[in-house]
Structure 1
Amino acid sequence: MGGEALGLIVYLDGRFVPEEEAVVSVFDHGLLYGDGVFEGIRAYHGRVFKLKEHIDRLYDSAKAIALTIPLSREEMTEVVLETCRRNEIKDGYIRLVVTRGKGDLGLDPRKCPNPTIFCIAASIQLYPPELYQKGMKVITVPTRRNVPEALNPRIKSLNYLNNILAKIEANLAGVPEAIMLTQEGYVAEATGDNVFIVRNGVLMTPPPHLGILEGITRNTVMDLARDMGVEVREAVFTRYDLFTAEECFLTGTAAEIVPVIEVDGRPIGEGCPGELTLELIRAFRELTKVEGEPIYR
């Protein structure tokens, strides 16, 4: 794959430029205030996985913050595909970003007449490969997930400080990921991934209204599980349910499906990746071989 570290070609506001020329103004409100939205998207085997769903979520996030994207969905789709082509991507990671654009030092978005759009196609490895075989240990953290009434987590915005604070707590605890709770103490999501548990043979994940990002991989895994005949529920649950679950795993675009074998020092199930988790990993990887928008035609 091209563009591993240097020499990337980046889409920026209608042009494809070398990465060293892909710069935005220090007055851009995406930089100054985290005012903007983004998507992380994966490419597998020369196809962009679930591209329509990612584009739809990008536009939904933008609408929620009253940000008008100056490209149509079809044009944005082509931006993603052409960025992949220019970087000779077959398997990789795409970051698509729309900021409020250049303004002044005030908050007022009306001072930002032109949104900034950029797209990067490169590579990513979120977790080491052995975690997918052996599973990971995680903790729950004191930092609570943003309440939907303040900043709805369904908006995939550039403001990730809430998640970063929880990630810092995970780092200090020596684990790769942290699970965040709602203000009421219910399980919400990890710092960058959705959370699933298996209890009494039922696959459970928190509902979007609780204050989570409705993940593309999350929804795909739910569909795969239903196809297997597994009962799937969007349900509210607590740390107790985590501790006593038969299985637990996280899902995300970059992470895909990663087993969790310990939460707050309590082993999950037998302390190894569960049978359903491993079956879903296999099914997901098979799906990525055949589904997606072709990059090269």
Structure 2
Amino acid sequence: MSANLLIYLDGKLVPESEAKISVFDHGLLYGDGVFEGIRIYNGRVFRLTEHLHRLYDCAKAICLTVPLSFEEMEKATLDTVAANNLRDGYIRLVITRGVGSLGLNPYQCPKASVFIIASSITLYPAERYEKGLELITCGTRRPNSSALSPQVKSLNYLNNIMAKIECLQAGCDEGIMLNDQGFVSECTGDNVFIVKNGKVFTPPVSSGALDGITRRAVMELLAEMGSPCTEAVMTRFDIYTADECFLTGTAAEVIPAVKYDRRPIGDGTPGKLTQELTKRFKVLANSTGTPVTYA
């Protein structure tokens, strides 16, 4: 993190040391708010419009009034990137419920708060992209979709964090999370794909998977490659017996997985389709997106 990092906070760009929110903010007290993680490649913000649409949809789903228009949010995001002269990196855009009372009632929070961080991120070590990840099955299940929609990227990520702790304690970087019926949902922070007999599959969003922006981009690339992806309900058996497996996410991009619950996936090395897809995604990410205007 740069010592000169500038943060957008409720209409102003302020130094990181001055970017503070109240201890009475319901985003802190109750995890009441929504967020987006967005990537910057080669001076362009990747799929910014899609990310912002999802952000506003999430806010609407939890009855959170966004204090900025869509166009104002887009400008604030691009201005934050430009102010930090960041040409490759990561954006975390957060909307909290705002300051309120010590109670659950969100209507006692007069106005939501918005802050935007533009910095760098490294989710996995570089060698994992070359050699692949090892996965485990997490004991922590994804919540039932009728309790909390997986499409809401809320500030309460404790479910994912508890699963992540399991992975790290097992010496792995990632793990497969199952839904309450025991079907494959997603990883702690990524979507999961498998390749079997030349065909590509990923769990449907109805299984508790987030409809990821990178997930969508990868499905488009797969269609262009002549390997369209099919959404299919999966069990652990399907991953155990897959020829290839890879994960996708904004921070993770596309990364191979080569072992699951100590079983090698395929021959235990990144597969050819995964490697080709990774190359194509890098080209797409570095050649498209909303351009940033730098001073």
Bin of the TM-score, shorter chain as denominator length? over 0.9
2-side partners of 1:62 and 1:179: how far apart? 27
1-side partners of 2:34 and 2:196: how far apart? 35
Shift of 1:5: 3.1
Give 1:91's aligned residue.
Answer: 88
Shift of 1:231: 2.8
1-side partners of 2:17 and 2:83: how far apart? 15
Shift of 1:211: 1.2
**Alignment RMSD (CA, Å):** 0.8
Q: Which among 236, 243, 250 is matched to residue 246 of structure 1?
A: 243
Give 1:218's aligned residue.
Answer: 215
Q: Percent identity?
A: 59
Equivalent pair of 1:201/1:231 in contact (CA under 8 Å): no
2-side partners of 1:186 and 1:9: how far apart? 43
Q: Secondary structure at the match of 1:127?
A: coil
Tell me, yes or no, if structure 1 residue 236 matches structure 2 residue 233: yes
Q: Secondary structure at the match of 2:122?
A: coil
Matching of residues 174-193 of structure 1 within 5 Å: 174-193=171-190
Q: Which among 280, 285, 296 is matched to residue 282 of structure 2?
A: 285
1-side partners of 2:71 and 2:201: how far apart? 35
Give 2:201's aligned residue.
Answer: 204
Tell me, yes or no, if structure 1 residue 166 matches structure 2 residue 163: yes
Residue type at the aligned position of 1:155: V
The unaligned stretches of length 5 or more in structure 2 are none
Shift of 1:6: 1.8
Matching of residues 64-143 of structure 1 within 5 Å: 64-143=61-140
Cα deviations across residues 25-53 of structure 1 (Å, max 9, x unaligned)?
Answer: 00000000000000000000000000001
Q: Which among 142, 145, 148 is matched to residue 148 of structure 1?
A: 145
Q: Secondary structure at the match of 2:287?
A: coil
1-side partners of 2:46 and 2:262: how far apart? 35
Tell me, yes or no, if structure 1 residue 267 matches structure 2 residue 261: no
Cα deviations across residues 70-104 of structure 1 (Å, max 9, x unaligned)?
Answer: 11111101111000000001001000000000001
2-side partners of 1:212 and 1:156: how far apart? 11
1-side partners of 2:272 and 2:71: how far apart? 40
TM-score, normalised to structure 1, is 0.98
Residue type at the aligned position of 1:99: T
Q: Secondary structure at the match of 2:34?
A: strand
Number of residues of Structure 1 aligned to a counterpart in Structure 2:
294
Shift of 1:151: 1.1
Q: Secondary structure at the match of 2:92?
A: strand
The unaligned stretches of length 5 or more in structure 1 are none
1-side partners of 2:143 and 2:49: how far apart? 27
Residue type at the aligned position of 1:6: A
Shift of 1:142: 1.1
Q: Which among 9, 24, 31 is matched to residue 12 of structure 1?
A: 9
Equivalent pair of 1:197/1:204 in contact (CA under 8 Å): yes
TM-score, normalised to structure 2, is 0.98
